[in-house]
Structure 1
Amino acid sequence: MNKATNQSLDSIPKDLDSSKNMVPWGERFSYSLSDFACNLSFQMISTYLMIFYTDTFGISAAAVGTLFFAARFVDAIDGPFWGIMIDHTHTKWGKSRPYWLWFSIPFAIFSVLVFTTPNLGPTGKIIWAYVTYIGVDVLYSAVNIPITSILPSLTTNPQERITLSTIRQFMGTAGATLITGITLGMVAFFGDGSTTSAHGWFIWALIVAIVVAIIFAVVFLNTHERVQTKSTRQSVPIKESLKALKKNWPWVIVIFINFIYWLGMQTRSQVTVYFFKYNMHDAGLASLILSLQIVALVAVVLTPFTSKHIGKRNTMLAGMVLAVVGQLLLSVGANNLSVPMIIFATVIGYLGTGYVSGLIAVMLADAVDYGEWKNGVRAEGIVTSFSSFSAKLGMGIGGVITGWILTASGYVANKTQTAAALHGIEMNYIWVPLLGFGLSAVALLFYHVDKVEKKMQSDLAIKHAKENAED
């Protein structure tokens, strides 16, 4: 026991040595498919559900905004609930991994139901929207939270975590780009040329859901929770797991950033079609602009290199600054109705967000380690579950902001919009996201984990080796 306690980092077993703990390429790719699958459904819902509700299903923008806000109260329970469940799960497949087996098919089913239009009256439509949207929202947490909670169990190597998150983000961005770029075209294809066709939306949602369920089966079969510590081999009581959050300032900062960043991203993404349909008088441009997300892959690929040389905090900060610059340039393009400027601004913005998205999961994994380092409690589930909660809270409030601004400015579906309504759309597309990115950048100035990471990983590696020796 004393020998285990006093051993140097060089003598730590390979599975706990953060300098060696690498993940095979096949498993790296399989892990990345989890985010690809999530983004196929998530981006389709977050980008198109609002305009589907208002222009196809016939629900008012205000009612939709209220729905998105109400769903966030459920998130206040379901995010932490799934995190606690993960911390209490102990199976032959691990703690996080079995959730892809158990909940991918229910999630796929509800991903279809939200784009289904039963013949109901106004009240019935709203009830249907509440049940199906909240259902898909809860089930999304069940399959999405494990993507982040499993990362600390895949490896203890900080650079390998960045590599895994980078590949995951690459595939996630690819999924988002693919689904946002082709959805309107596919809806029109299945809907006899109409992008508001209820039949077109249903068939396309069904195809996407089947693909998502198959991908999650592949992810489950090909990932492994190889980092075994005393806490991962047993259920962690709720009261004990909450100790991991005590004075965990890195966690607080990342959760705040996740909230405000996704608030801004949601307001922009869900009014993209509105902006090009009404402000630019060319709805087809929306697919082109959304397809430009592919440029984010450049930043995603560069993230491991950049993080290695300037640190994770500074890399994400640079991304936030680029996102702010992109929004400012976007305002110039919008004021002049300049498509080239809008395209250029969008490229700059996506380069920035490419640096951001992949590092949030890595920083949460670091927060898991930090909580154990400071408080002696490792609780992957509860620590990472608030990522889903904060992101969906931000997106929900973003939805409320969008709906209320559209309603207050006088938006009327499928009509020529007033100057006030056009300004309301522009507020959602440019200025609310700018505020979110700017506040995120300020919060990053207080993030200092990079400075203590080597010491933290060294101490934890010795702690884990001691626990394994005692067992």
Structure 2
Amino acid sequence: MSENAAKAEPAMKNMVPWNERIAYSFSDFACNLSFQMVGTYLMIFYTDTFGLSAAAVGTLFLAARIVDAFDGPFWGIMIDHTHTKWGKSRPYWLWFSIPFAVFCVLVFTTPNMSLTGKLVWAYVTYIGVDVLYSAVNIPITSILPSLTSNPQERVTLSTIRQFMGTAGATLITGITLTMVAFFGHGSTTSARGWFIWALIVAVIVVVIFGFVFKYTTERVQTKSSRKSIPIKESLKALKRNWPWAIIIFINFIYWMGMQTRSQVTVYFFKYNMHDATLASLVLSLQLVALVAVVLTPWTASRIGKRNTMLGGMILAVIGQLLLSLGANNLSVPMIIFATIIGYLGTGYVSGLIAVMLADAVDYGEWINGVRAEGIVTSFSSFSAKLGMGIGGVITGWILTGTGYVANKTQTAGALHGIELNYIWVPLLGFALSGIALMFYHVDGIEKKMQSDLAEKHARENAEDGE
């Protein structure tokens, strides 16, 4: 056998068949159907349908993030302690998809209660959906290192996953107001409309997760993956793991900006642009991100993952700056053009975060000798939701502080507050993420790291008699 053939054979063994690639990608489609509906529309549902103040909603989002300080790592530790015939990560879709879907319905349910009762209901249901989201979402990232050890195949898997995730997000954000109005007899603030639509989405999510569970396989088996890892041991994977720290910070600050923008999209077009129907059109432009998602493997293979993501952040910043021009001039064409540029940028970003976290799992094992997929990747959910929570607090407090009053003509100050959330907070998040990426240097050592780990795994498997 030639040297080139010998090198190609292991790579081919680490390829994932297309039916499994598609099944894996639908995991993010399901998550985005449900949680993008929550992330984009829950705030305006709470203020304009359920009757809560923007400040109370912002405080609720902050409280949920405090809980997330524990639930994200908790699920990661649980995954590292899980050892079943189905694997370590995969069983969580079977066990928790139905509870998650139930809470996705409850969070859009409007029981007839006092204001205090409504707040209690909102706290219980929102924190519940948040905790259960971690239970089904963290395995999406933690399973990636177990699907393949081939770096380029991971990029391919993450790209297909991000393609479907973006498709799910675009679909749900684009049609939700229309469906709520359909089931709510023409009103986008109808409690009945929100409940029925949430119920339909929840049923679809459960069916999809069943499909994902059935057709995925954890094929990369190492000495660590075949046993439960003690908490103290799994935490060693984070020691001196700078790639992990950088990506976790980016995940936090990036999603903080994304959340402030998504939460006030409807507000911005309803009050600043005086046409709420434009919100659905602009949210549907997320389809543009699919162009960047499709190009991500090709771009990353030529300029590296870090540079590809950095280019995406730069495009996102440019998009926000152009968006400010459109807002100042009330120019719908400029806003559409700016949104397209921004979505092209975020399309390059989102798909690579999971890949870089998978690389951080490898890096932690390479540097510290401990492979802990659960604890390393669980902080992705924690940091993203912490960022989204802080973004929710910022949104709520800015709206309240600038005088927002639901379903009324807004003052100049309130309109400025909406614009701050829609344009400038996201711009800050993208810019800081780009700066952090300048310190990420895994691409240059990846080949040696993968070679060393392959030798280590082969040696461990031989010692175990395989």
What TM-score results when the alignment is normalised by the length of structure 2?
0.98
1:174 to 146, 167, 173: 167
Aligned residues: 462
Structure 2 residue matching 1:120: 3-state secondary structure: coil
Query: Superposition pairs for residues 147-226 of structure 1, below 5 Å?
Result: 147-226=140-219
**Within 2, Cα distance between the matches of 1:412 and 1:444?**
39
SS in 2 for 1:452: helix
1: CA distance, partners of 2:433 / 2:134? 23
Where does structure 1 lack aligned partners over 5 or more consecutive residues?
A: 1-7
Please say if 1:58 is aligned against 2:69.
no
Closer, same or farther: CA 11–241 of 1 in aligned 2, 3 Å: farther
Secondary structure of 1:50's aligned partner: helix
Residue of 90, 93, 108 corresponding to 1:100: 93
How far apart in 1 are the matches of 2:32 and 2:8? 37
Q: Give the superposition deviation at 1:20.
A: 3.9
Within the alignment, does 1:458 sit opposite 2:451 as a pair? yes
Aligned to 1:401: 394
Pairwise CA distance, 1:11 = 6.3
Aligned to 1:4: none
**CA drift at 1:115:** 0.1
Look up the match of 1:142: 135
Contact 1:275 1:426 in 2 (8 A): yes
Q: Which residue of 2 aligns with 1:439?
A: 432
The amino acid across from 2:396 in the alignment is G
Superposition deviation, residue 303 in structure 1: 0.2
**Tell me, which stretches of 5 or more residues in structure 2 are unaligned?**
none
Out of 217, 223, 229, the residue aligned to residue 236 of structure 1 is 229
Q: 1:374 aligns with which of 342, 355, 367?
A: 367
Q: In the superposition, relative to structure 1, how do residues 10 and 233 fare at CA in structure 2: closer, same or farther (>3 Å)?
A: farther
Q: Distance in 1 between matches of 2:408 and 2:4?
A: 67
Q: Counterparts of 1:126 and 1:48 in 2: how far apart (Å)? A: 17
- Supply the distance in 2 between the matched residues of 1:390 and 1:209 (Cα, whole angstroms): 25
Aligned partner of 1:306 in structure 2 is: 299
3-state SS of 1:243 partner: helix
Q: Quote the offset at 1:138 in angstroms.
A: 0.1
1:32 aligns to what?
Answer: 25
| Distance in 1 between residues matched to 2:235 and 2:5, nearest whole Å | 32
Mapped partners of 2:204, 2:157: distance in 1: 23
**Counterpart code for 2:316:** A
- Report the CA distance between 1:19 and its aligned residue: 5.7
Alignment-derived partner of residue 469 in structure 1: 462
Aligned residue number for residue 290 of structure 1: 283
Give the corresponding residue for 2:241: 248
Letter of the structure 2 residue corresponding to residue 395 of structure 1: M
Indicate if the aligned counterparts of 1:83 and 1:384 stay in contact, CA closer than 8 A. Answer: yes
Q: Percent identity?
A: 84
3-state SS of the aligned residue for 1:427? Answer: helix
Which residue identity is paired with 1:294? Answer: L
Structure 2 residue corresponding to 1:386, chosen from 379, 386, 402: 379
Structure 2 CA distance for aligned equivalents of residues 390 and 263 of structure 1: 9
Residues 9, 461 of structure 1: 8 Å contact kept: no
Letter in 1 for 2:394: I
Distance 2:176 2:6 in 1: 53
User: 1: distance between equivalents of 2:248 and 2:340?
Assistant: 26
Report if aligned partners of 1:12, 1:461 keep a CA contact under 8 Å in 2: no
Would you say 1:87 and 2:58 are equivalent positions? no
Matched, 1:337 2:337: no
> What letter corresponds to residue 403 of structure 2 in structure 1?
G
SS of the residue aligned with 2:84?
coil
CA–CA distance in 2 between the matches of 1:437 and 1:13? 38
Letter in 2 for 1:237: P
Rounded to whole Å, the distance in 1 between the matches of 2:374 and 2:247 is: 16
Match of 1:3 in 2: none
Which of the residues 220, 227, 233 maps onto 2:220? 227
1:65-122 C-alpha deviation (Å, 9 max, x unpaired): 0000000110000000000000000000000000000000000000000000000000
| Aligned CA-pair RMSD | 1.2
The answer to whether the 8 Å contact 1:190/1:200 transfers is yes
| Contact residue 153 and residue 227 of structure 1 kept, 8 A | yes
Displacement after TM superposition at 1:127 (Å): 0.2
Equivalent of residue 120 in structure 1, options 113, 117, 122 = 113
For residues 462 and 240 of structure 1, the distance between their equivalents in structure 2, rounded to whole angstroms, comes to 22
Q: Give structure 1 regions of 4+ aligned residues with deviation exceeding 2 angstroms.
A: 8-14, 17-20
Residues in 2 aligned to 1:12 and 1:322: alpha-carbon distance in whole angstroms:
37
Which amino acid in structure 1 is aligned with residue 95 of structure 2? W
CA distance in 2, matches of 1:13, 1:89: 33
- Contact persistence 1:12–1:462 (CA under 8 A): no
Question: How far is 1:13 from its partner?
Answer: 11
- Which amino acid letter does the alignment assign opposite residue 404 of structure 1? W
What corresponds to 1:427 in structure 2?
420
**Corresponding residue SS for 1:236:** coil
* 1:280-306 Cα shifts (integer Å, max 9, x gaps): 000000000000000000000000000
Q: Which residue of 2 aligns with 1:267?
A: 260
Distance between the aligned counterparts of 1:423 and 1:415, measured in 2? Answer: 15
Deviation at 1:10, TM superposition (A): 7.7
Residue deviations 1:146-172 (CA, integer Å, cap 9, x gap): 000000000000000000000000000
Once residues 337 and 406 of structure 1 are traced to their aligned partners in structure 2, the CA distance between those partners, rounded to angstroms, is 20
Q: Distance in 1 between matches of 2:11 and 2:358?
A: 14
How much has 1:420 moved relative to structure 2?
A: 0.1
Q: What is the rounded CA distance, in whole Å, between the counterparts of 2:462 and 2:221 in structure 1?
A: 12
1:416 aligned counterpart, secondary structure: coil
Post-superposition Cα deviations, 1:31-78, rounded to whole Å, max 9, x if no partner, equal: 000000000001100000000000000000000000000001100000
Q: Is the 8 A contact 1:18 1:158 kept in 2?
A: no
What is the aligned counterpart of 1:131 among 124, 134, 139? 124
